[in-house]
Structure 1
């Protein structure tokens, strides 16, 4: 075997291995799979946000051509509902309200899109036609489409028995210490904002195929999921009540997830259960309109905040009150997003001595809300970075100086925040200074004046952010309400000729894991990249793992692989020592070569691998044959990427259109495995952040109808909405995982929205604008400009 050059290992911009099949149309997605004899499912969904079901007439539908079966919630009585994966406790210690979430509606529907019945037919068209023949008698009930309406006295109850539509009233921090800090403040800045609701809109809509083998009693689910093992656990144990060895979950290629494909959805349970009932495969594929009203939405916070400062502009205390929309039901991880993934990040990169946060989670008659790229950290960062800009303005300070003055200094790490988390490493000054340089912050005023001469309004905005990735450790999050472990697993299977198969519990939905994880093997074992195969996404092949989300795949999954490779190398050194008649302590290993220290005795990787499987000359009494090792890794702490994003925009005052003309992202993501993939991940996240800041929002009317339920009404960013994004990294290593990595998948979506809005507010400085809510649409800007012109005229 040829020993690989180091250029394929850690730090190399290797082209993505998986792109050849994707770009040539050879990807294998769930909708590409067709099982012999499969039928097709169409789900009848509620047109009402809130209604009692008084009757369902299925006779006409069952008589339609091609119909195999029709089921309603009455057929699934006795099965479990969709579970929530994280329990939160109220301020008084009582558990949150956790109403049942039936797979098919039973008695009531609670949002437009709630599943009422499923038709299974020989074709998709036949199933759709039959669904239209189902007659449902609804008694339409008053709906609450906003948190304000849901919390109003006497508001209609989304769930019977949930008082005031409140899921929980939670807090973190010391309220007495916090209140005392405000008493001595030189200045208190008060601020209120909305973090707008988003629809994820992954490139690939969700799909699911249920299959059942009557000869063995085995079920198989093919699904568009970021964590197949968790789906198997939740669906098998809690919903369908199947033993895990009788349920296989396969998630092949996944065309984008962004968090929306973490969760266990009703459709997965429906097709799996139905396949057993009719003894043939059942396939469901969402269309885009269906995705808008069934995929979990993201964000949707309303927050009031108060920041106390001393006379020098140093932060003394932060008090935050947030309302978080849960939608009609609790999605899998929804309850953790506004609590342990949001409020624990409110210290940001600053030395604020005391932070107290109160969060109320509210049920409304809308699509359930859950994690979306960044999950709580973008919400915290947007609040904090807008608040810092407002504070700088009201204190008469420079926006850069107020940040520098409050940064956590480099010599303070490990740094214990007042909201539970302890940061292990960071250099916030360095990322700031690099971003200012790349963005040419010093030359901005000259560009502003040139734009003004051309009749344009130009602004620049900054965001210095921090996030938490690789949620951990299991014992801690378990004590905080998580109902699952958050470790990861890696199996390194070395073959007799030296090639390697990696079995990982993480998953890929576009991040390039098949390349990046292979680079870890190349770097450690010296195996050429082409001879490393990454296997994921099939519970029948891989050990129990927790999937991919929260930028955990390298920090947690990669670390498990490193531990497994350490076992491989330790065993291989013992074999090499035997072959070279040396002590194990004297055998060195470096990228494919075993050497006796201080001699010219060597053995190649291939020789050792072959010996392990053909043990003719082998210490069989001391070492088992084979080279196949598994390791589990449970992190000691989160990882903490951070950085600085700078956005420069231009507004045409005639059309009020915002053009993003420059964007700079300097991020500390820990050790960089593949710079090209990091750059792509950051750019993709920035695109989503710009989308939230300027274009995207989910809008409901007072009756709970989603008005922005198609691309005609929900504006996604396009190529001409995005500028070239300058990406750079400044590395401080994570101190508690063996790779030193921190995570890069979410940073772009976290740092960019406040940078964009800060730039828009800066461009409107002559109109005395304190804040503009996302998305900063031309209509909103037109109102600001023309209101200012009227005031000037008066």
Structure 2
């Protein structure tokens, strides 16, 4: 029978009581007495030289307190990048300054030029509209290959080119990979695009800066996934505020998907302006503003080559990727196409030779950074598309081709510098096949054909790396922060616990699952455990939530701290029962002396800790509070197999997803219901990328998909009922919970499933289409079925060519897909 409590149970999410009743406390709900409001004047051109900013008329308008421009930030640092990449020649990446307000030039549509602080938001908006910015238009670079061509306009005049770095990994593998490909029995080559996405969390970003004159301290309330990191970056590198004088609070946060990891200029502005004006300053983003100020995701163009021998063993993989950085380097941007992508290019397979080249490029577009999966979806999409294409070229079963090349012995050291500790890829594939009735697919295809539709089945595998670690290693790889996690467990005299964590929850259900872990260890009710997060003033220094690290890293820190609590409590219990500490056992909230009927309740021990009347003070300190920092010694490696069935309407090109199945190995599972919900959310986002979503610019750098009128988000009717299974569990060997991470899997494994299925459907109808770039809109699919000759927009790659160009522009008519 299913468990009711503790690890492995599925209690309802406790935080949902306030979320579903509208009682959550989000940053925009915070209003500090006397606060002013800020509205940013943003550039409407992608690239231009600022010749002057006339604020005279705006300054005279009602309610205006002050208007800030770049000159007000002289001596203030730029927004820092948190990761430095060294290129394949050993040179550090080019790293331009990212000013709080544009200095000298604007570099993308949405770049903030001036900030109006006024008594009300409407007054600030009215004043911003009358500011006259004299901007000399400059040629914009949007296409990545054109951006690095000789003579291209420079996004940053102080750089030598628009190439941020040219990274090779593993450089010493390069010659062996070249030889393996040149001598292969078969080589499949595919060029593809991983389309640019906008994260679109439910809650837009908000920042409230407050300053206290009496102790010269600053507070920032913000929509962040990692408040401690914001405090470190903003305090030390931008505003020069000592950490003990800076508090960062991230209350309830309505979704993040990566886009709220980063330190943004608006946060620094509000904190700076609050001190300058001696009053609180608040900024709330509009949805349209978010499209051009929040970091975007993906935007890679890749050529991948897969070499096979005569027996269809994979012998080599070689890739060349152009990765868009946008106009500035966002917090973790350089790491995404390199260490979070290149290290996963082995996938689930024992390919002996792998070489990955990445050219990161500055363009006149919004900065690009981590988005759900961050590098791993890009790696999986390349591999799983080229493997499916190879299977079709060779006339073999795509499932059996994967099985033939699966890693089957663990631990397994890949050629791209990571070691998988555990896994069973055949087990997840077996489970998937049992879920989808593959044998009955032919009959379902005939039924679709009878209705004039083409039916396709797409199957693929994935692996990801979660809980990026360890700090010592990532420091050598360029990280400018540690990647440990922390927890403080404070036990009250009456037995309840407060767990303060450096992790942050923005929809994952941490307040429920973290409590399950701690309560299970002690044997008490979960309602006796309170989880506190999101405030640097009352939680230990931690790195926040992203990369599916919360349980694997944050949860492990809680386990370590709770183990310290239990160890001390056993000493107290031993004294109370006049027994040896080594004989004390804790089970179901009671301490017992092994082999006897002597016992004492958890609450009696915790009371003794704080009322030490009968207590060996010379041996044990009063109180019961412990802190632990946990720095893992390896990534965790969730893996799985996904399948979907689609129908394609040959008259219109419209794709309908009929069924989707996901078989995942997440190691041990703490709360199956929450895990299933995480997979559902990831699948929805992956299907959105595959079929609907596309962030598009024209050749002048104008954002064509800057609202929900032009950017198609997945809705309920776009999604099927999902089959989700996580019964194949190979526990992680190097964290105390044996967990692997589940938050990003759905977004990683689903895009290739969709594309593989659509290509399969088209081939069943006699259409020899090797590939279609995402999103597979009706227009793209229909054009591919006509032979792919028609162009879909300005410089858009011909759909279905399988040999796409590197131009990222699309026509406006290709962004809305309903």
* TM-score range normalised by the length of the shorter chain: over 0.9
Alignment partner, residue 114 of structure 1: 111
2:572 paired with 1:582: no
Q: Which runs of 5 or more structure 2 residues have no equivalent in the other structure?
A: 791-818
Q: 1:177-231 CA distances to partner (integer Å, 9 max, x unpaired)?
A: 2122223311111111000000100000000000011111110000000000000
Residue in structure 2 matching 1:105, options 98, 102, 105: 102
The answer to whether the Cα contact below 8 Å between 1:6 and 1:523 also exists between their aligned partners in 2 is: no
Alignment partner, residue 56 of structure 2: 59
The answer to whether the Cα contact below 8 Å between 1:498 and 1:527 also exists between their aligned partners in 2 is: no
Q: For 1:777-788, list aligned pairs within 5 A.
A: 777-787=777-787
The answer to whether the Cα contact below 8 Å between 2:589 and 2:601 also exists between their aligned partners in 1 is: yes
3-state secondary structure, aligned to 1:164: coil
Alpha-carbon deviation of 1:124? Answer: 0.4
The answer to whether the Cα contact below 8 Å between 1:317 and 1:354 also exists between their aligned partners in 2 is: yes
Alignment partner, residue 751 of structure 2: 753
Q: For 1:198-237, list aligned pairs within 5 A.
A: 198-237=197-236
C-alpha spacing 1:560/1:788, structure 2 compared with 1 (3 Å): closer
Cα separation, 1, equivalents of 2:448 and 2:223: 47
Residue in structure 2 matching 1:529, options 505, 526, 531: 526
The answer to whether the Cα contact below 8 Å between 1:349 and 1:464 also exists between their aligned partners in 2 is: yes
Alpha-carbon deviation of 1:655? Answer: 2.7
RMSD: 1.1
2:539 paired with 1:514: no
The answer to whether the Cα contact below 8 Å between 1:492 and 1:503 also exists between their aligned partners in 2 is: yes
2:192 paired with 1:187: no
Cα separation, 2, equivalents of 1:768 and 1:445: 19
Alpha-carbon deviation of 1:6? Answer: 6.3
Cα separation, 2, equivalents of 1:78 and 1:476: 33
2:391 paired with 1:389: no
Cα separation, 2, equivalents of 1:146 and 1:686: 29
Report how many aligned residue pairs link the two structures. Answer: 784
3-state secondary structure, aligned to 1:496: coil
2:29 paired with 1:44: no
2:269 paired with 1:270: yes
Q: For 1:563-578, list aligned pairs within 5 A.
A: 563-578=560-575
Alpha-carbon deviation of 1:789? Answer: 12
Q: Which runs of 5 or more structure 1 residues have no equivalent in the other structure?
A: none
Q: For 1:483-494, list aligned pairs within 5 A.
A: 483-494=480-491
Q: For 1:677-756, list aligned pairs within 5 A.
A: 677-729=674-726, 730-756=728-754
3-state secondary structure, aligned to 2:320: strand
Q: For 1:241-390, list aligned pairs within 5 A.
A: 241-390=240-389
Cα separation, 2, equivalents of 1:235 and 1:711: 32
Alpha-carbon deviation of 1:306? Answer: 1.0
Cα separation, 1, equivalents of 2:788 and 2:373: 36
Cα separation, 1, equivalents of 2:778 and 2:259: 29
Alignment partner, residue 611 of structure 1: 608
3-state secondary structure, aligned to 1:379: helix
Cα separation, 2, equivalents of 1:387 and 1:105: 42
Alignment partner, residue 459 of structure 1: 456
| TM-score between both structures, scaled by the size of structure 1 | 0.98
Alpha-carbon deviation of 1:590? Answer: 1.4
C-alpha spacing 1:276/1:14, structure 2 compared with 1 (3 Å): same
2:738 paired with 1:762: no
* Worse overlay, 217-226 or 644-653: 644-653
| TM-score between both structures, scaled by the size of structure 2 | 0.95
Q: 1:489-548 CA distances to partner (integer Å, 9 max, x unpaired)?
A: 011111000001000000011000000000001110122111111000000010100000
The answer to whether the Cα contact below 8 Å between 1:353 and 1:418 also exists between their aligned partners in 2 is: yes
C-alpha spacing 1:789/1:105, structure 2 compared with 1 (3 Å): closer
Cα separation, 1, equivalents of 2:550 and 2:79: 26
Alpha-carbon deviation of 1:788? Answer: 8.5
The answer to whether the Cα contact below 8 Å between 2:769 and 2:785 also exists between their aligned partners in 1 is: no
Alignment partner, residue 816 of structure 2: none
Cα separation, 2, equivalents of 1:342 and 1:243: 35
Cα separation, 2, equivalents of 1:787 and 1:685: 33
3-state secondary structure, aligned to 1:125: helix
The answer to whether the Cα contact below 8 Å between 2:557 and 2:629 also exists between their aligned partners in 1 is: yes
3-state secondary structure, aligned to 2:703: coil
Cα separation, 1, equivalents of 2:203 and 2:626: 35
**Runs of 4+ off more than 6 Å:** none
Cα separation, 2, equivalents of 1:646 and 1:50: 43
2:762 paired with 1:772: no
Q: 1:206-264 CA distances to partner (integer Å, 9 max, x unpaired)?
A: 00000011111110000000000000000000000111111100000000000000000
The answer to whether the Cα contact below 8 Å between 1:767 and 1:788 also exists between their aligned partners in 2 is: no
